[in-house]
Amino acid sequence: MSDHEIKDDLPSNFIRSIIDRNLNENLYQNKKWIGSPGGASHHANAPLDSAKIRTRFPPEPNGYLHIGHAKSIFLNFGLARDYKGACHLRFDDTNPEKEDEEYVRSIIDNVQWLGFDWKFKDEDNLYYASSYFSFMHEAALSLIQSGDAYVDQQTADEIRENRGTLTAAGKNSPYRQQTVDENLTLFAAMKSGKQPDGAMVLRAKIDMASPNINMRDPAIYRIKHAEHHRTGNDWCIYPMYTFAHPIEDALEGITHSICTLEFEDQRPFYDWLLTKLKNNGLLTDPLPKQHEFARLNLTYVVLSKRRLIELVTNQHVSGWDDPRMPTLVGAKRRGYTPAGFKLFTDRIGVSKADSWIDYVTLEDAMREVLNTSCDRRVAVLDPIKLVISNYAEDQVEDCFAPNHPQDESRGKRVIKLTRELWIERQDFMIEPEKKYFRLYPGNQVRLRYGYVVNCTGYDVDKKGQVTTVYCEYLPDTKSGSAGADSVKVKGNIHWVSCKHAVEAKVNLYDRLFKVEHPGANSESYLDDINESSLTSITVQLEENLVNIKPMDQFQFERHGYFICDPDSSSKNIIMNRTVTLRDNWK
């Protein structure tokens, strides 16, 4: 295949268009990279960067990754792979009060689970913003020296008041005209540890009358007497995201810094800062450029960090990895797969339009992937007994079931047939409704992989509930035998031998919220919680499932895809339903 053909297979979106254009403009042909992050002097004698582009996935280690992050991960790492570039995993740990090592580990696991790493040739591009604190401090000093930053001693309230409003310009701080030396002294005081939190803050000196509020002298360094999970007590001043992020990108030689829409207003500051630092000799071209895309919204799902935390702490779910949670750890336990997420993100595309993706789009992507990857098994979820009256009490017979209907190479397995079987309650009706073609008195169906049977009767308990169904089998009709097709039936039901069945617990999951947009038309999104999002039942599995191991996945025929829970054991098998099969009936 030629490059041209390969390119035709790639999706088209505005970010790829930008990259294509940048590459055609030879924007990075003189870009130097010495193999590790650093400023202008660090890369001064470096060779040309062999990575065509550099992107980054920059999570703050203050929570668990969710499905929305998966979109960003596939975007950033996918772009790097397609363009023969590198994607860095960078922890944006500039706020010590919120961040923790526990999240770092979980994020690393999640990214690897989705199939990515941060290697590029011999580089290991795993970085921490906190590694750049020294450079950031120097950058701040340089800004003070060039007259582009000052230490403001107003209180937080005063700063807020003087910022102005959306329609009215702000007022200059009384400290805005301090000399460079005064600012240097004050900034040193901030760093010295002798100033309490909030006493003063370093601000960029731009324009208090800017129509863009982000340009009204944004705060770039604050005092925070807090222990950082990586730098300990080395610092008591920490850079703000606004200041830190562009620098992180620049030091790592990022070409395309892709973030979500809400940062659009910050792009002017991003460019302002980097240009200043370039003029001050700390950075060189090509400078990274920020591009924004629409974050993922999924119907019936909440993705905001605050709400997710609330769901866990208020115990609406069992934890971060509850299979109903949209976290990656939850999705994994639910049985959602990396390949499914890849298909999903490919399908939804990338754009700048705010949008809500139908939850069914995600489910369908999972079904499509699971359909080919999962072997089939039989499970009766709501058992009633079926007795084959003309089948001997002690007889046991092998039935052969293919592991996958579209892939013979996966072989067959044996399922034992006996006189008494478990079948689904839903596969029998005393009085069939229209178009129902399963079991009812007088009707014939095939016991999948076994014989055709004729329904002869049934028992009910005092409540009128069916307890046992009776039938007679047609001896010449066994699946695979010459006479198998001699009797044509429409219905085909699954079953499990009572004598051989394995009991298990199954968790049936439904959407966590009962409305498309939780919270949109109610007091709180919590009012929209679906109280029956989890149903736990006891079921009968085919005997071949006795040795199932945690995380094994199967399709239970006619039901859906199921995964063996991490807490499952041979004595206590637990299966989680990932997603049902499509069902045109009922």
Active site residues: 60, 295, 305
Burial 107-116 (b: 16+ CB within 10 A, else e): bbebbebbeb
Q: Is 571 in the site for RNA (CB under 7 A)?
A: no
Q: Is 578 in the site for RNA (CB under 7 A)?
A: no
Calpha distance 396→499 (Å, rounded): 10
Q: Cis bond leading into 286, ω under 30°?
A: yes
Among 280, 284, 373, 479, binds RNA (CB under 7 A): 479
**Residue 440: count of CB within 10 angstroms of its CB:** 19
Q: Report in angstroms how near the CB of residue 198 gets to RNA at its nearest.
A: 4
- Pick out residues in 549-568 that bind RNA (CB under 7 A): 555, 557-558
Q: Is 521 in the site for RNA (CB under 7 A)?
A: no
Kindly write down the DSSP assignment for every residue of 272-321, as one continuous string: HHHHHHHHTTS--SSPPEEEEEPPP-BTT----HHHHHHHHHTTSSSSTT
- Pick out residues in 354-373 that bind RNA (CB under 7 A): 354-358, 360-361, 364, 367-368, 371
Sign of the torsion formed by the C-alpha atoms of 315, 318, 321 and 324: negative
Q: Which residues 6+ apart lie within 8 Å of 195 measured at CB?
A: 189, 223
Q: Report in angstroms how near the CB of residue 183 gets to RNA at its nearest.
A: 15
Q: Is 454 in the site for RNA (CB under 7 A)?
A: no
- Pick out residues in 201-240 that bind RNA (CB under 7 A): 201, 211-214, 218-219, 222-224, 238, 240
Q: Is 10 in the site for RNA (CB under 7 A)?
A: no
Extended strands (E) in 163-206? 201-204
Quick one: which segment of 165-173, 279-287, 410-418, 462-470 binds RNA (CB under 7 A)?
A: 165-173
CB-wise, 121 or 488, nearer to RNA?
Answer: 488
Question: Between 26 and 55, how does the x/- string for binding to RNA read (CB under 7 A)?
Answer: ------------------------------
Q: Report in angstroms how near the CB of residue 136 gets to RNA at its nearest.
A: 12
Beta bridge partners of 411: none
Helix (H) or strand (E) holding 415: strand 412-417
Q: Report in angstroms how near the CB of residue 133 gets to RNA at its nearest.
A: 12
Q: Is 515 in the site for RNA (CB under 7 A)?
A: no
Calpha distance 84→51 (Å, rounded): 6
Question: Between 63 and 102, how does the x/- string for binding to RNA read (CB under 7 A)?
Answer: -----------------------------x-xx--x----
Calpha distance 239→457 (Å, rounded): 78
Q: Is 352 in the site for RNA (CB under 7 A)?
A: yes
Q: Is 9 in the site for RNA (CB under 7 A)?
A: no
By CB under 7 A, the count of residues binding RNA is 86
Reading the block at residue 488, the tokens are 């044509």
* Residue 522 exposure: Cα atoms within 13 Å on the Cβ side: 13
Q: Report in angstroms how near the CB of residue 327 gets to RNA at its nearest.
A: 17
Q: Is 284 in the site for RNA (CB under 7 A)?
A: no
Calpha distance 241→219 (Å, rounded): 10
- Pick out residues in 392-431 that bind RNA (CB under 7 A): 404-406
Among 8, 10, 14, 457, binds RNA (CB under 7 A): 14
With 0-12 CB in 10 A as exposed, 13-18 as middle and 19+ as buried, what is 134? Answer: exposed
Calpha distance 558→449 (Å, rounded): 14
CB-wise, 92 or 322, nearer to RNA?
Answer: 92
Is beta strand 466-473 parallel, antiparallel or unpaired with respect to 452-460? antiparallel
Q: Report in angstroms how near the CB of residue 561 gets to RNA at its nearest.
A: 10
Determine contact, residues 105/140, Cβ cutoff 8 Å.
no
Q: Is 304 in the site for RNA (CB under 7 A)?
A: no
Phi, psi of 510 (to 5 degrees): -125, 175
Among 23, 40, 159, 303, binds RNA (CB under 7 A): 159
Q: Is 443 in the site for RNA (CB under 7 A)?
A: no
Q: Report in angstroms how near the CB of residue 242 gets to RNA at its nearest.
A: 6
Among 42, 52, 137, 163, binds RNA (CB under 7 A): 163
The number of residues making up the chain comes to: 586
CB-wise, 105 or 490, nearer to RNA?
Answer: 490
Helix (H) or strand (E) holding 71: helix 67-82
Strand order in the sheet with 444-447: 491-493, 444-447, 452-460, 466-473, 383-388, 420-424, 495-497
CB-wise, 49 or 427, nearer to RNA?
Answer: 427
Reading the block at residue 408, the tokens are 């013979």
CB-wise, 41 or 356, nearer to RNA?
Answer: 356
Q: Report in angstroms how near the CB of residue 204 gets to RNA at its nearest.
A: 11
Q: Report in angstroms how near the CB of residue 122 gets to RNA at its nearest.
A: 29
Quick one: which segment of 321-329, 330-338, 344-352, 415-423 binds RNA (CB under 7 A)?
A: 344-352
Determine contact, residues 505/537, Cβ cutoff 8 Å.
yes
Is beta strand 553-556 parallel, antiparallel or unpaired with respect to 375-377? parallel
Among 109, 117, 264, 382, binds RNA (CB under 7 A): 264
What 3-state class would DSSP assign to 486? coil
Reading the block at residue 19, the tokens are 């990259």
CB-wise, 163 or 425, nearer to RNA?
Answer: 163
Among 6, 7, 10, 17, binds RNA (CB under 7 A): 17
Among 2, 167, 409, 536, binds RNA (CB under 7 A): 167
Q: Report in angstroms how near the CB of residue 77 gets to RNA at its nearest.
A: 19
Which residue type sits at 495? W
- Pick out residues in 239-258 that bind RNA (CB under 7 A): 240-242
